[in-house]
Amino acid sequence: MSGEAHHNERHIVQRGLWFEEFETDVVYKHRPGRTITEADNVMFTTMTMNTQALHLDAAFSDALPPFNQRLVNSMFTLSTLVGLSVAQLTQGTIVGNLGFSEVSFPKPLFHGDTMYAETVITDKRESKSRPGEGIVTFAHTARNQHGDIVATAVRKTLVRKRPGAEAKEA
């Protein structure tokens, strides 16, 4: 018994959703959230060659109204918003991103804020040119710990259908 695999045991592997599993008009709330640190912001900003003083220079930013502190790089905010959705929606099931639109940052994110993400599926359709795949449109929203919206983005993706789905359609 010790360490032996049982022939009747089931295995559940964490993954995203197959095309057929996505539901429109449902709010997918992604957890856990992510607390953004000064180190995160400085590392991302310098790794991406962004020299914006608003992200890197505390003396400059602290003296600059209206926020009087450094802001989290909005590209990091966008990347983290998408990243927070991966485990629940697209892990191992996405073929690729097709594009982003309607990206906005209504309020800034600051060091020490915690970002929470949620997604609504606004559209899904089978791919005309790629059998076994479909196009899913995500409306992503990021909120800080106070519930304020700090980022939104619409993302089109190419997602795999459930394996074997093509054989069932024929």
Note whether 32 and 169 are within 8 A (CB): no
For the domain with range 19-163, which CATH number is right: 3.50.50.60, 1.10.287.180, 3.10.129.10, 3.90.1300.10? 3.10.129.10
In this prediction, residue 4 carries a pLDDT of: 63
For a pLDDT cut of 70, what percent of the chain falls above it? 93
Work out the average pLDDT over 81-103.
97
Task: Name the band, by pLDDT with cuts 50, 70 and 90, for residue 51.
Answer: very high
5, burial (CB in 10 Å: exposed 0-12, middle 13-18, buried 19+): exposed
Whether residue 66 has a cis bond before it, omega within 30° of 0: yes
